Structure 1
């Protein structure tokens, strides 16, 4: 029962942890909160963006009633599948991987899973709403409009825009 978003952001593994004392699966005092390992696979991000992504994922889990035991960094690892970068269309074979050891109910797991799998859509929406344009983007837009303006023959009369 695992799921991977199109961007390869989150992979859920519903494996209960084994107890160190005996070979049976360890379940905390409450039987309605089994243990889950949530694998978070991010793309290659800067340190500050990586921290923001981890905090956002942790907050989603905590907001849905999960108890996060600990977060472990598994490092920059090879991916179990091939991904393609959006802008460069180059294949990506490795990425940052983190493991959240959590206890949560099945309802909370399903709610958090759906939110984390659609996190990219929400982040893009937030970015577009309050986006500031960078210098490079402005320059590209200026050059494009300048080219279009220069390509219009100036000897002809330009018709006014239609209402």
Structure 2
């Protein structure tokens, strides 16, 4: 069964009402045959735009965001989504398919353990390295400053007879 991410946005509710709303949402998912993997709270946030509460018709500007990660079939997802959308305490419900394929991991420990001068990535960087005029000027000034900072000893001429 594919993994779906249900975004449930509720009205601004008290803690007790919020718990009841989330348990109702979780029970709807479980009744439709979902296996809930994780429930995340994204906190109380401002909505990107004004929403209208279903029962009262009041404007809702801030709400609670929750994510339900659940494995379920596609027809069951549609049924659960319609039931959750009709709930009076929810402002918005959306279900998105989450990709479960993990990219293949390639171990490159041998390459990492090499000294930097011998690594292919560093050699490619050196080949493509270009110095602009400004960078060359900075390097020149820095080396010139270091050269001037070195004390110089002048040879003493032999005395004249």
Could you say which structure has the greater relative contact order, defined with CA pairs below 8 angstroms and 6 or more residues apart? 2
Query: What is the TM-score with the length of structure 2 in the denominator?
Result: 0.50
Higher helix share: 2
Query: What is the TM-score with the length of structure 1 in the denominator?
Result: 0.49
